[in-house]
Amino acid sequence: MMRFARRLLSALVTILCCPVAALADSTSLLSQANAANPTRYQFAVNNNAEIRNTSDNKAFTIWWQPSTGTPAGVLVTLHGHGSYASDEFYLWQPYLQAKGYAILALQWWFGGGETVADYYQPHEMYPIIASLLKEKGVQPGTVLLHGYSRGSANSYAVTALDTSSGNRYINMTLSNAGGAAADFPPNQQIAAGALGVSPFSGIQWVMYCGELDPDPTINGCPAMTAAKSWVTQYGATVKLLIDDPNGGHGGFMPSSSNVTTALNQFVPSPRTPTDTSTADCLFNWAEKAFAQYFAPAGSASQNSTPYRYRYYAGTGNYLASNAADNHIWALGTATGGQLLDLGPAAGFLGSAGCSAP
């Protein structure tokens, strides 16, 4: 009997004192978020946010948009470890309301434990995000993805999944105090080319680090400086790395200067699809306007997903439109053998006299 009592006591101590993996369901997780910070949760309710269970009944989303009409842009935000979507909503919504932007906050932690299985993985959370954006009629090129801490560590793979899917909702990513760990399997997939040769092509990036972060090589400025080089390697354009000399790990949001500086870098740019006839029209124009690079004229267009392209044997160059990002690309002797992004196809339509599809 004494042995049984000791075992029972030990089990109770383990349950009460130690974090355990969550057997989450959406309703109980919502209650948990409310209990953790009633002020922040009620803030979402009071602002008439749409709080919805995920289809797998493991988590929830919070969606809010201005009552004035179609939002100019959308912030999708991933909270940090052991946190809640209601925290992110509370912190971000006032800034977004001032900009006329909507917000989608995803609860991606299941409410207990700290293992990989206690969170959605990028390939699990991205379909949830994309489905809701599609339902809300969000246009490609109008989304700013934000991730804080552990959310930031996952922001790289979520961005790559968006580009490789062809959806291209994300225009800019804000990675906030969470580096791109080389041993994280989704990042290893990116490095291996599983999500494309340049999965960050066409993506603008802003990053934040605090000089006082207690884990500098994981979340601090050394980590984010390395992440800056890493995303650039795969096609991203890093617009800004905010190096905060007075910031700790959570130093981004308490400073309104940090937040407004980052938001001001975001320019929603709806992407216009480029169909085959428009691509061919642009190719024909380029052959006349830039004959020194694209000759002889009249080469047959070919397709290799996601590209429609022409090869010019006389000059050793390729010219292509990319259905994934709706940009025009060049490759060959004129680019030194490097794949060169010439910019959005829409930017050439006027000069070329071509019509949008």
- In 168-274, the DSSP E strands lie at 170-176, 204-210, 237-244
Helix spans in 136-175 (H): 150-165
**Which pLDDT score, from 0 to 100, does residue 272 have?**
62
Q: Is the pLDDT of residue 36 over 90?
A: yes
Q: Is the pLDDT of residue 254 over 70?
A: yes
353 near 285, Cβ under 8 Å?
Answer: yes
For residue 354, give the DSSP letter.
P
Percent of all residues in the chain with a pLDDT value above 90, rounded to a whole number: 76
Distance from C-alpha of 239 to C-alpha of 140, rounded to nearest angstrom: 20
Q: Is the pLDDT of residue 48 over 90?
A: yes
**Which pLDDT score, from 0 to 100, does residue 202 have?**
86
Q: Which of 59-63, 73-77, 157-161, 298-302 has the lowest mean pLDDT?
A: 298-302
| Residue with the larger pLDDT of the pair 16 and 325 | 325
72 near 99, Cβ under 8 Å?
Answer: yes
Tokens, residue 245:
């000399």
User: With the C-alpha atoms ordered 18, 21, 23, 26, is the resulting torsion angle positive or negative?
Assistant: positive
Average pLDDT over residues 277-293: 93
- Bridging pattern class, strands 170-176 and 204-210: parallel
Q: Is the pLDDT of residue 209 over 80?
A: yes
Q: Which of 78-87, 123-132, 304-313 has the lowest mean pLDDT?
A: 304-313
Residue ranges per structural domain of the chain: 20-263, 276-352
Angle between helix 38-46 and 85-99 (nearest 10): 40
Q: Which of 89-103, 198-212, 259-273 has the lowest mean pLDDT?
A: 259-273
Q: One-letter amino acid identity for 258?
A: N
What are the phi and psi torsion angles at 326 (to 5°)?
55, 35
**Which pLDDT score, from 0 to 100, does residue 305 have?**
62
**Which pLDDT score, from 0 to 100, does residue 1 have?**
42
- Tell me which residue of 222, 176, 171, 213 sits closest to 78, measured CA to CA: 176
Distance from C-alpha of 326 to C-alpha of 202, rounded to nearest angstrom: 9
Distance from C-alpha of 265 to C-alpha of 255, rounded to nearest angstrom: 16
Report the CATH superfamily, name and number, of domain 20-263: Alpha/Beta hydrolase fold, catalytic domain (3.40.50.1820)
**Which pLDDT score, from 0 to 100, does residue 166 have?**
79
Q: 170 pLDDT band (50/70/90 cuts)? A: very high
Distance from C-alpha of 309 to C-alpha of 312, rounded to nearest angstrom: 10
Q: Is the pLDDT of residue 281 over 60?
A: yes
SS3 content of the chain, % helix, strand, coil (to 5): 40, 20, 40
**Which pLDDT score, from 0 to 100, does residue 22 have?**
52
Q: 2 pLDDT band (50/70/90 cuts)? A: very low
Q: Is the pLDDT of residue 16 over 50?
A: no
Distance from C-alpha of 238 to C-alpha of 225, rounded to nearest angstrom: 11
Q: 174 pLDDT band (50/70/90 cuts)? A: very high
Three-state DSSP state, 297? coil
CB-hemisphere CA count at 13 Å for 139? 13
* pLDDT tens readout for residues 84-95: 999 999 999 999
| Residue with the larger pLDDT of the pair 147 and 326 | 147
| Residue with the larger pLDDT of the pair 353 and 275 | 353
Distance from C-alpha of 222 to C-alpha of 32, rounded to nearest angstrom: 35
Distance from C-alpha of 104 to C-alpha of 64, rounded to nearest angstrom: 7
Three-state DSSP state, 131? helix
**Which pLDDT score, from 0 to 100, does residue 196 have?**
85
